[in-house]
Amino acid sequence: MRLVIIKHNAGNVCSVLYALKRLGVEATISDNPDKIRNAEKVIFPGVGEASTAMSYLKERGLDKVIIALKQPVLGICLGQQLLCSYSEEGAVNCLGVFPQQVKKFISPFHKIPQMGWNDIYNLKSPLFTGVYEHSFVYFVNGYYVECGLNTIASTNYILPFSASLQKDNFFTTQFHPEKSGDIGHKILENFLAI
């Protein structure tokens, strides 16, 4: 399988690569448009700041490459947020695959960013085959994606929000499957089987 992890300035590429190796899958890390276009599957990870990441993608033409992909794509954490229409983090227009907006958590009573294990529910996609309702996965996020028609899993921290999205060939997780133990490995296996 030709699996490419998109290399960019906000990627958590190494932890994703190691998780795939534990599943017996080799992947290439690349920011080469042709390698990304010709991959059988693409993973778009991210840990960092939205406006800086969008600038990097645009400078290299990767914004146009990503939205034109027809093979299965998995956006992780910031990767999910960048696939939405707009982020309050840096007040930036993003890739627009999903119409949802990314908003900042605001609460005087909760630690922000959310860091740790949280449950997911209302699971609605082949991405979650064999995953039980209210399974726990690992989150690190100070921003969230609103729930909407493309939400295929929800969670709750301060308020309900999208733990996962799907539209056509684009799948996302706000949580980190590569850091979510057996449940995360199952979700990655499901993505690889799509």
Note whether 183 and 129 are within 8 A (CB).
no
Active site residue 134: no
Choose the catalytic residue: 84, 89, 94, 178: 178
* pLDDT above 70: residue 147: yes
Q: HSE of 109 in the Cβ direction (CA atoms, 13 Å)?
A: 3
Choose the catalytic residue: 84, 89, 94, 176: 176
Active site residue 89: no
Find the Cα–Cα–Cα–Cα dihedral 155, 180, 51, 192, rounded to 10°. -100
Q: Each residue of 155-181: pLDDT tens digit?
A: 999 999 999 999 999 999 999 999 999
Note whether 158 and 164 are within 8 A (CB).
no
Distance CA 54, CA 188 (A): 25
Choose the catalytic residue: 8, 77, 84, 89: 77
Position 152 scores a pLDDT of 98
- For the domain with range 3-193, which CATH number is right: 3.30.70.270, 3.30.1360.30, 3.40.1010.20, 3.40.50.880? 3.40.50.880
Task: Indicate yes or no: pTM above 0.85.
Answer: yes
Q: Each residue of 88-122: pLDDT tens digit?
A: 999 999 999 999 999 999 999 999 999 999 999 99
**For the chain, which residues make up each domain, given as ranges?**
3-193
Active site residue 147: no
Region 74-78: mean pLDDT is 97
